[in-house]
Every structure is written in structure tokens, then in C-alpha cells.
Amino acid sequence: MSYFLSWTPERVKRDIQKKLLANGDAVGTFVAGRASQLAPKRTGALAAAIEYVVTRSGWDVEIVVGVPKASKAFWAKFQELGTRKMAAHPFLRPAVEHNAAEIVRLLTGGK
């Protein structure tokens, strides 16, 4: 008796992409929420301006969390990265870096 493995990489890629797209909203919501918690709260405008978007381009799925350029919270970049006169107060990078295991769990649809 012989067994054959049927490998269809295009179908596998498509299935993975579907799963990533389906779970991208959960990841975006989670990371945006964590970033909002970590954002400086002087007025609350920065925390309120944090958004996410899930996009697909070819086989790539991208989840972007941040503050849109058109936002009134234009200073978000300065808070995250600092300036030569102000120390950085990161809120986006720690939202991802400190929650990597949870992000992977959400991406894979794990419970």
C-alpha cells in the first residue's frame, strides 16, 4: 500500500491568508487597546487617536496600529521616539513587544 502526500502550496497560502485576515481585527483591537493604555494621558487625545487597519497585498497581510498622520494628535511620533530635547515615552512598541505571545495566540485563532 502506498501513501501520497498531496501538496498544494497555493491553497495552503490562501488558507493561511484567510485565517490571518479573519484574526487581524482581533489583533488590531488588542494592540490598539494596549497602546491606548500605555499612551501618556495628559488630555487623553493621544490614547483616543490610536487606530488600526488590516490590509492585504498579494500574499501579504499587514496589521498597522498607530496614530494617523491626519490626526490632531500629531505629537504621537515625538512621544514614541523622543526628540533631542525630550526623552521617548514609547507606547506603541511596548504594546507589541510585551504581548507577543498573546498576539500570536490571537493570530492563530487559539483559545
pLDDT tens digit sequence for 58-84: 888 999 999 998 888 889 999 999 999
Domain tally, the chain: 1
Mean pLDDT in the chain?
A: 91
90: in domain: yes
Pairing mode, strands 60-66 and 51-57 = antiparallel
Rounded to two decimals, the pTM is 0.84
**Burial bucket for residue 65 (CB in 10 Å: 0-12, 13-18, 19+):** buried
77: in domain: yes
6: in domain: no
pLDDT tens digit sequence for 19-28: 899 999 999 9
94: in domain: yes
11: in domain: no
9: in domain: no
80: in domain: yes
Range of the domain at 50: 20-107
- Percentage of the chain beyond pLDDT 90 is 64
pLDDT value, residue 69: 85
